[in-house]
Structure 1
Amino acid sequence: MATDEEIARFGASLGELHRLLRRRTHARADREPLPEAQVEVLLLVRAAPEISGKEVAARLGTAANTVSTLVRDLTDAGLLVRDRDPADRRVVRLRLTEAAHRRMADYEVHRAALLTEALAALDPPARAAVLAAAPHLDALLTALRARP
């Protein structure tokens, strides 16, 4: 089993990797980054189109009024569309706009290019080890999602 120090170092590295990759990807795309909370909403709506605002709040573990503000801001920015559920007009269903799809695809292209460049700087065994860890990181993500 890993030591507390190894686990702390792993968590810190993942966090810094995420922050650095996010900042550099936006700089490369020459675009202001969206707030992290808005990105979380967009990713969730992309994964589950027509999700309700209430479901978004539950999955993100945040208050409904917080999600309402995020949805309003994303709608005002032209990245999200709110539709009333025809079966229950009290429910709002969310979907991405074409602009959101393009923005997310553009971000992913820039992120992949940055990762490709960084991976190329590693020696072949280190590069192979990092890439081989991807399925295990996916499993870790699944395990974390399954926990309340």
Structure 2
Amino acid sequence: MALARIARLLDRQARGDALSPTQMSVLGTVARRGPMGVSELADIEGVNPTMLSRIVAKLEDAGLIGRQPDPGDRRAVRVEVTEAGAQLHRHLRAERTQLLTDRLADMPEGRSAELLAALPALEALAEHLAKRPAATGPANGGAGTL
């Protein structure tokens, strides 16, 4: 919960009114992972394809994402970040990094050192979670849904 709260606060302070949280997430995913199919992007983002289509259309209208036919399946569409989208993504990441750096500098020295020491473990957890789909449903008591 703490990590989600931190991410939301950083997003809110960094993006202003430029993008919704979902638009920012979609742009970030495409910028980090490169061109991908819309259905793959919908799976990664955890949104239904219809909603994702609307989000992609808004990002495309803003010149941040482009759609291309999938060379392997002419019925499918791939999305890719434009130069303007990549530039905005870099700017937002730099702004978030600066906000976090400034806040860490304000913390007592012992606390900031503890947080920095935890980063490798948090990175390992993020990589582990990215490799395995979340289990949901009765088998785990619905713990995958917050």
TM-score by length of structure 1 reads 0.80
Partner residue of 2:60? Answer: 75
Contact 2:38 2:77 in 1 (8 A): yes
Q: Secondary structure at the match of 1:95?
A: strand
Contact 2:68 2:79 in 1 (8 A): yes
Q: Does residue 139 in structure 1 map to residue 128 in structure 2?
A: no
Percent of aligned positions that are identical: 35
Q: CA deviation at 1:140?
A: 2.2
Tell me, in whole angstroms, the C-alpha distance in 2 between the residues paired with 1:37 and 1:113: 22
Q: CA deviation at 1:82?
A: 0.2
TM-score by length of structure 2 reads 0.81
Structure 2, gaps ≥5 residues long: 135-146
Q: CA deviation at 1:108?
A: 1.8
Tell me, in whole angstroms, the C-alpha distance in 1 between the residues paired with 2:57 and 2:18: 17
Q: Secondary structure at the match of 1:94?
A: strand
Q: CA deviation at 1:43?
A: 1.7
Q: Match for 1:121 among 82, 89, 106?
A: 106
Partner residue of 1:5? Answer: none
Question: Structure 2 matches for 1:23-38, cutoff 5 A?
Answer: 23-26=12-15, 31-38=16-23
Tell me, in whole angstroms, the C-alpha distance in 2 between the residues paired with 1:97 and 1:130: 35
Residue by residue over 1:48-93, the C-alpha shift from the partner in whole angstroms, topping out at 9 and shown as x without a partner, is 2220001111222321111111111110111100001223211111
Q: Which amino acid aligns with 2:66?
A: V
Q: CA deviation at 1:131?
A: 0.9
Tell me, in whole angstroms, the C-alpha distance in 2 between the residues paired with 1:74 and 1:43: 12
Query: Quick one: structure 1 residues 61 and 22, their matched pair in 2 at CA, closer, same or farther if it must change by over 3 Å?
Result: closer
Runs of 4+ in 1 over 4 A off after TM superposition: none
RMSD in angstroms over aligned alpha carbons?
Answer: 1.6
Q: CA deviation at 1:139?
A: 2.1
Structure 1, gaps ≥5 residues long: 1-10
Q: Secondary structure at the match of 1:78?
A: coil
Contact 2:31 2:89 in 1 (8 A): no
Partner residue of 1:54? Answer: 39
Tell me, in whole angstroms, the C-alpha distance in 2 between the residues paired with 1:36 and 1:16: 13
Q: Secondary structure at the match of 2:66?
A: strand
Length, aligned pairs only: 133
Tell me, in whole angstroms, the C-alpha distance in 1 between the residues paired with 2:86 and 2:123: 23
